[in-house]
Amino acid sequence: MLLGAHLSIAGGVDKAFDRAEAIQCTAFQIFTKSNRQWKAKPLDEKTIARYHQRQAETGIKPVICHASYLINIGATDDTVWQKSVDALLIELERCESLGIPYLVLHPGAHMGQGVDAGIARVVQALDLVHDRLPDLSARVALEITAGQGSALGANFEEIARILNETRQSDRLAVCFDTCHALAAGYEFRTPDTYEAMIAEFDRIIGLDRLTVVHVNDSVNDLGSRVDRHAHIGEGCIGLEPFGFFLNDPRLKHLPFLLETPKDDDPGDDIRNLEKLRSLVRE
């Protein structure tokens, strides 16, 4: 099973493999740069080579990248939108140099201008990025959001609109986040509601689009539209529902990645991974 966590790149992106081995990850997620800064020092050839060497030595893949939280390609403000597009281009190029297949991206926020205006800007940005990087194999994976504030992508229909309206739609994928889905109003905490939710996702988006699952419990309950992650089994989702995802044969090929709090690092990740592993049926 592909199971891991979001890990630090302190000391260099290649150092994440050491941390992954220490907590027995079979996949993991990273930022390739500071997620709180627009600019980043380019990855040098030695760092890239060390990264590929460590990946070959450990055999851990896929590695997934999460885009900077500063990026908002749904912005109607031209300055913010252009900075976001430029940053997205850089992030995808960094993924490409490291052989990272997916860059998880929050679709953005319309900042009070309305869903239609926000989605139009997202589509415009993705089309521009795809045109600028025609030969790139790294793909954007749009993440389902909790719908906090004016965040786009809090329902399957909005994600589907972006996918359908982007010219090179085949270059896009989707990331499902358990905390975000519950907060956005999707019930999946019983076997029946889980099946109904997965069927709805498949009908509207398509399970073939799903490439990454973020496994996070939620501090807030169904429909709260608040994005606040909790440790596995300690929030409003509870422990058992994570087993529905982990044991679903339709999802067995996907990486399941923690983005839970790290008050005790790596102890929190170790405990959360143990809880998830305990749910996996042989």
Catalytic residue (one of 106, 110, 130, 161): 106
Catalytic residue (one of 110, 139, 209, 214): 214
Whether 271 is a known active-site residue: answer no
Catalytic residue (one of 14, 91, 143, 269): 143
Whether 227 is a known active-site residue: answer yes
Cα gap 88→82, rounded to integer Å: 10
Catalytic residue (one of 14, 158, 177, 269): 177
Task: Determine contact, residues 142/100, Cβ cutoff 8 Å.
Answer: no
Whether 214 is a known active-site residue: answer yes
Catalytic residue (one of 86, 96, 248, 259): 259
Catalytic residue (one of 180, 194, 209, 231): 180
Q: Which residue in this structure is represented by tokens 């399957």?
A: 156
Catalytic residue (one of 14, 217, 227, 269): 227
Helices then strands, each counted (H, E), the chain:
9, 10
Phi, psi of 116 (to 5 degrees): -60, -45
Whether 180 is a known active-site residue: answer yes
CA 13, 14, 15, 21 torsion: positive or negative? positive
Whether 66 is a known active-site residue: answer yes
Residues in the chain: 282
Cα gap 45→13, rounded to integer Å: 12
Catalytic residue (one of 69, 77, 167, 277): 69
> Going along the chain, which residue ranges are E strands?
3-5, 28-30, 63-66, 102-105, 139-143, 172-177, 210-215, 217-218, 229-230, 256-258
SS3 (DSSP) at 174: strand
Q: Which of 40, 26, 107 is nearest to 12 (CA)?
A: 40
Whether 36 is a known active-site residue: answer yes
Task: Determine contact, residues 32/91, Cβ cutoff 8 Å.
Answer: yes
Whether 69 is a known active-site residue: answer yes
Catalytic residue (one of 6, 19, 66, 110): 66
- Helix H segments across 99-166? 115-132, 156-165
* Residues recognised as catalytic: 36, 66, 69, 106, 143, 177, 180, 214, 227, 229, 259
